[in-house]
Amino acid sequence: MYKSTMATSLADLTASITSALANLPPQNEIQEPERFQVLGALAQLQEALQPPILGLHKLLFGHQALTTIGIAQGMGIFDTFAENEGSALTIDELKKKTKGDEQLLVRIMHSLACNGVFKEVDKETFQAKPLAPFLVTGTPTGQFVRHVRGCMRVNARLYDYFEANDFKYPVDAYDSPFQFAYETKDHYFEWLKKNPADQEAFNATMTLGRQFRGVEWFEYFPVEKKLQDTAPDRAVFIDIGGGIGHDITELKNRFPQLPGRFILQDLPDVIDNIPEPLSNEIEAVTYDMFTPQPVPRAKVYYMRTVLHDWPDKQALQALARIHDAMADDSLLLINENTYPETNVPYHSACIDITMMEMFSSLERTEKQWIALLEQARFRVVGVWKPEQHFTGSNALFEAVRA
């Protein structure tokens, strides 16, 4: 009796899910809160239904997906599907356009199909699923793969690092699991300078942050009110560690009338790598944030997800350089991920471990950010967040000199 009731209800469940799938609105019409509500419910359902051993299997072999995706990129598989604009391809067709042996091709395609990147529509005939175009080489998301493969090399040796260091928490950016795994004394950013393809992949990956952040900071921070009265020859906004200028460009486009100079600062290998010329109203200059700030008395010194790359020791040094440069009415704006105190979401936990392995750094909670800024002799006058603030996403810390 018990068995048959369960069987019926599970059959009903399958039918409801199948019908929901058939009637799902297009991706771009789904509202984020509803999307995450359904995803949360599905995750619970999956956990409840899945035999634990299957869950364990997925967990333990999860790393293989990244490896096979990297190999498929090297063989030119995603680029070939992109050139064929959505048509299904047989192994014979693929073989003519990709590098490597047929046997390898078949095995990689099967691995990618069971990871949801392709669908095997017929025996050894594959069709790209929505994820595949994101893996085309040269796209920012394709470059993301190269970047994460570099992190995975460290991850693969993380256990060895901790065993060798008595499982002590790393606190020095120059003695992190990264140096251990890569057998180098270089900081990751110095290593990137010597490895231009990885530097390019890192820069491209940084432009993707927006897709995780949702609403941009200048939509919930009163930019015009706070920055409007700046003299035209004064720096109104300095984006320190601003990467290739994506954030400052969006700010400038959104508020073209704001008076004052807009300045992007980053390391030479980033500034020299800017792929498209920036608006001529943005000055892009090379600058190392551990050295004295060359533009004193700016209205705003801004950093987005720069300090999370650094443990407190170096973060305090960079903040001291800003403190030295500030005028009485200058503002420091720190746009950072905020790590929840409990129920840490998957994305935040992944970034936190990445910060630890690459930099001996961490994702900080709101309280930890405020404590760090206070230790650097700032007073936090506001913590700005969008109306819909998802756990772990960015907050904007507004601070003045204490």
Ligand X SMILES: C[S@@+](CC[C@H](N)C(=O)[O-])C[C@H]1O[C@@H](n2cnc3c(N)ncnc32)[C@H](O)[C@@H]1O
Residues assigned a catalytic role: 308
Nearest residue to ligand X by CB is 241
To the nearest whole angstrom, how small is the minimum distance from the Cβ of residue 240 to ligand X?
6
To the nearest whole angstrom, how small is the minimum distance from the Cβ of residue 136 to ligand X?
22
Residues binding ligand X: number (CB under 6 A): 18
Site string for ligand X, 198-237 (x = CB under 6 A): --------x--x----------------------------
Identify the residue whose tokens are 């984006």: 239
DSSP for 175-188, please give it.
Answer: SSHHHHHHT-SS-H
Q: Does 294 bind ligand X (CB under 6 A)?
A: no
To the nearest whole angstrom, how small is the minimum distance from the Cβ of residue 8 to ligand X?
52
- Chain CA centroid to CA 48, Å: 30
Let me know: does 214 contact 388? Beta carbons within 8 Å: yes
Give Cβ neighbours of residue 192 (< 8 Å, ≥ 6 apart): 198, 199, 202, 269
Minimum CB distance to ligand X smaller for 89 or for 376: 376
Minimum CB distance to ligand X smaller for 187 or for 261: 187
Candidates 261, 304, 323, 364; binder of ligand X (CB under 6 A) is 304
To the nearest whole angstrom, how small is the minimum distance from the Cβ of residue 104 to ligand X?
35
Minimum CB distance to ligand X smaller for 77 or for 319: 319
Stretch that binds ligand X, among 13-21, 70-78, 274-282, 283-291 (CB under 6 A): 283-291
Site string for ligand X, 104-143 (x = CB under 6 A): ----------------------------------------
Stretch that binds ligand X, among 32-40, 60-68, 228-236, 286-294 (CB under 6 A): 286-294
Minimum CB distance to ligand X smaller for 209 or for 340: 209
Closest to 336 (Cα-Cα) out of 361, 380, 306: 306
To the nearest whole angstrom, how small is the minimum distance from the Cβ of residue 288 to ligand X?
4
Tokens of 13: 């469940």
Tokens of 226: 């706070």
Minimum CB distance to ligand X smaller for 170 or for 243: 243
Q: How far apart (Å, rounded) are the C-alpha atoms in residues 169 and 197?
A: 31
To the nearest whole angstrom, how small is the minimum distance from the Cβ of residue 327 to ligand X?
21
Q: How far apart (Å, rounded) are the C-alpha atoms in residues 397 and 377?
A: 14
Interacting residues with ligand X between 139 and 198 (CB under 6 A): 189
Minimum CB distance to ligand X smaller for 97 or for 213: 213
To the nearest whole angstrom, how small is the minimum distance from the Cβ of residue 338 to ligand X?
15
Q: Does 306 bind ligand X (CB under 6 A)?
A: yes
Let me know: does 264 contact 282? Beta carbons within 8 Å: yes
DSSP state of 294: S
Stretch that binds ligand X, among 23-31, 148-156, 241-249, 356-364 (CB under 6 A): 241-249
Q: Indicate the residue type of 56.
A: L
**Largest distance between two CA atoms of the chain:** 82
Minimum CB distance to ligand X smaller for 206 or for 362: 206
Let me know: does 260 contact 227? Beta carbons within 8 Å: yes
Closest to 193 (Cα-Cα) out of 259, 270, 83, 253: 270
- CA distances to 122, 139, 188, 269 from 197, rounded to whole Å, are 37, 13, 14, 11
Tokens of 333: 């704006």
Minimum CB distance to ligand X smaller for 249 or for 330: 249
To the nearest whole angstrom, how small is the minimum distance from the Cβ of residue 318 to ligand X?
7
Q: Which helix (H) or strand (E) holds 227?
A: helix 223-227
Let me know: does 399 contact 355? Beta carbons within 8 Å: no
Q: How far apart (Å, rounded) are the C-alpha atoms in residues 396 and 402?
A: 18
Q: How far apart (Å, rounded) are the C-alpha atoms in residues 25 and 48?
A: 26
Q: How far apart (Å, rounded) are the C-alpha atoms in residues 144 and 73?
A: 12
Site string for ligand X, 242-281 (x = CB under 6 A): xx---x------------------xx--x-----------
Q: Under the rule (CB under 6 A), what is the footprint of ligand X?
A: 189, 206, 209, 241-243, 247, 266-267, 270, 287-290, 304-306, 309
